[in-house]
Amino acid sequence: MKNWLRIGQFAKKSGLSPRALRIYEELGILCSHSRGQNGYRYYEENQLELAFQIKKFKTLGFTLDEIKALLEVDLHFDSNRLKSLLSSRLQRVCEMQEDLSMQKSQLENILTSLENSNKCLKQDERRYIMSQFKKVSVVVTGIKDIEATASEISKYLSTPKEPATIILWEEDIQLPVKKPFIVVLPENSLQSKKVKEIEPDVVVIKNLSQYSKETEEAYINLYSAVGPHMTTVFNADDSLSVKLAGNNTIRKGRTFYFSKNKGLEDQIKRIGGVVSDGEDITLFGFNLKKDILKYKLNTVLGFDKEVSLLASLTAVLDIGLDKEILDKQFCN
């Protein structure tokens, strides 16, 4: 007890009132180290750091509930970490704005080509148009549950007359001429030279094993024919995937995100994607429309199965899919 501080001493050193300290303890934000037999609260010297953090957050205008939530995420969360986090988030928002600007320019170029009846459409312009009628090739890659995701995507692309073929990657793979088809391609096979021959319309990146120059270059093999027709789907909850999304080659196409974090909803709403809270699923930018689609999960899904569902919905977000197909899927 030699180095312990009574509440009055701790209040004086921290600049917080005894009344505030009692409230913080009631809320579980800053609890005394122990109570004496006389009922006095005792604090340790090293708790002053936490007291200063709380005081700083109060100065910034955070409520006590908000402060508690921040400290539950990281006990050592301070204003410097907050600035770093927000700076990173700002950079990503700026990149999203650039992506949207590029997509707008690409669409304007296609419309200009269409209005000029004597001008032949470029290959990437033709592929963009075809992608609006479900005539797409899809690659699902990453390190986990990629076959399950491919299976989910096939439900939306298949029709009784024209099922979507699922192909497991092999070095001597023969790709179908007719679309739609889905290639299941593990991350550890991305370095194959043959990957460049796929030229997919949609790439779904579930998660990365690591982030390195070699890993990034391996993923870029999928973008040998990148253009406005091409869509990449990223897992916004996987920090390595989000980092890859900043690659300049990938950003020549469209980018959508999926997440189980409702806190990312505003950002995903701006650029397009799918968000779930475990009960409700929200789709932003379906067929590039402003309408927001909401569906309720019929059953409780395991984490991996729900992630596969979200990835599949994002993969078909802008391929001209009939909304009735989604309605039917979630009514079953």
Judged by average pLDDT, the poorest of 60-69, 201-210, 257-266 is: 60-69
What is the residue whose two structure tokens read 């080659």? 249
* pLDDT-based confidence at residue 123 (cuts at 50, 70, 90): low
What does the mean pLDDT of the chain come to?
Answer: 85
Q: Would residue 322 count as lying in a domain?
A: yes
Give the model's pLDDT for residue 177: 82
User: Could you tell me if 1 and 45 are in contact, meaning their C-beta atoms sit under 8 angstroms apart?
Assistant: no
Q: Would residue 169 count as lying in a domain?
A: yes
Same domain, yes or no: 45 and 138: no
Pairwise CA distance, residues 301 & 303, whole Å:
6
| Domain endpoint, select from 48, 63, 78 | 63
- State the residue range of the domain holding 26: 5-63
Residues in a beta bridge with 123: none
Same domain, yes or no: 175 and 255: yes
Same domain, yes or no: 274 and 160: yes
User: Could you tell me if 313 and 274 are in contact, meaning their C-beta atoms sit under 8 angstroms apart?
Assistant: yes
Give the model's pLDDT for residue 92: 67
Structural domains in the chain (count): 2
Q: Would residue 19 count as lying in a domain?
A: yes
Same domain, yes or no: 13 and 156: no
Asked whether residue 62 carries a pLDDT value surpassing 90, the answer given is no
Q: Quick one: average pLDDT of 240-249?
A: 94
Higher per-residue pLDDT: 198 or 86: 198
Higher per-residue pLDDT: 49 or 106: 49
Q: Quick one: average pLDDT of 166-177?
A: 91
User: Could you tell me if 148 and 166 are in contact, meaning their C-beta atoms sit under 8 angstroms apart?
Assistant: no
Instruction: At 273, list the tokens.
Output: 């994607």
Q: What is the dihedral of CA 265, 299, 301, 270, to 10 degrees?
A: -10
Q: Would residue 106 count as lying in a domain?
A: no
Q: Would residue 94 count as lying in a domain?
A: no
Pairwise CA distance, residues 130 & 101, whole Å:
22
CATH code where residue 36 lies: 1.10.1660.10
Element holding 239 (H helix, E strand)? helix 239-244
Asked whether residue 186 carries a pLDDT value surpassing 80, the answer given is yes
Q: Quick one: average pLDDT of 313-330?
A: 89
What is the residue whose two structure tokens read 């995100």? 257
Pairwise CA distance, residues 66 & 284, whole Å:
28
* pLDDT-based confidence at residue 287 (cuts at 50, 70, 90): confident
Q: Quick one: average pLDDT of 1-24?
A: 86
Same domain, yes or no: 30 and 132: no
Higher per-residue pLDDT: 87 or 325: 325
Give the model's pLDDT for residue 112: 74
* pLDDT-based confidence at residue 216 (cuts at 50, 70, 90): very high
Asked whether residue 245 carries a pLDDT value surpassing 80, the answer given is yes
Same domain, yes or no: 153 and 259: yes
- Residue 134: left if φ>0, alpha if ψ -120 to 50, beta else—which one? left
Same domain, yes or no: 297 and 165: yes
Asked whether residue 77 carries a pLDDT value surpassing 70, the answer given is no
Same domain, yes or no: 138 and 249: yes
Q: What's the farthest any 2 CA atoms get from each other in the chain?
A: 93
pTM attached to this predicted model: 0.64
Give the model's pLDDT for residue 321: 86
CATH code where residue 286 lies: 3.40.1190.10
For 123, other C-beta atoms within 10 Å of its C-beta total 12
Q: Would residue 69 count as lying in a domain?
A: no
Same domain, yes or no: 147 and 43: no
DSSP state, residue 320:
-
Pairwise CA distance, residues 59 & 31, whole Å:
20
CA angle 305, 310, 311 (to 5 degrees): 95
Pairwise CA distance, residues 31 & 54, whole Å:
12
| Three-class DSSP labels, 33-94 | CEECCCCCEEECHHHHHHHHHHHHHHHCCCCHHHHHHHHHHCCCCCHHHHHHHHHHHHHHHH
Same domain, yes or no: 144 and 232: yes
Q: Reduce the DSSP state of residue 199 to 3 states and report it.
A: coil
Pairwise CA distance, residues 33 & 110, whole Å:
67
* pLDDT-based confidence at residue 79 (cuts at 50, 70, 90): low
Give the model's pLDDT for residue 318: 86
Asked whether residue 131 carries a pLDDT value surpassing 60, the answer given is no
Same domain, yes or no: 46 and 138: no
Give the model's pLDDT for residue 74: 65
Q: Quick one: average pLDDT of 296-316?
A: 93
Q: Quick one: average pLDDT of 126-139?
A: 64
What is the residue whose two structure tokens read 């148009």? 129
Q: Would residue 75 count as lying in a domain?
A: no
Pairwise CA distance, residues 168 & 94, whole Å:
37
Same domain, yes or no: 21 and 148: no
Q: Quick one: average pLDDT of 228-244?
A: 92
Whether residue 228 has a cis bond before it, omega within 30° of 0: no
Give the model's pLDDT for residue 184: 97
Element holding 113 (H helix, E strand)? helix 79-115
Q: Quick one: average pLDDT of 68-90?
A: 70
| Distances 331 to 190, 266, 297, 311 between C-alpha atoms, Å | 37, 27, 9, 19
Q: Would residue 31 count as lying in a domain?
A: yes
Higher per-residue pLDDT: 283 or 132: 283
* pLDDT-based confidence at residue 96 (cuts at 50, 70, 90): low
| Domain endpoint, select from 63, 78, 102 | 63
Asked whether residue 129 carries a pLDDT value surpassing 70, the answer given is no
Asked whether residue 233 carries a pLDDT value surpassing 60, the answer given is yes
pLDDT tens per residue, range 13-42: 989 899 889 888 888 888 888 877 677 888
| Domain endpoint, select from 13, 42, 63 | 63
Asked whether residue 58 carries a pLDDT value surpassing 90, the answer given is no
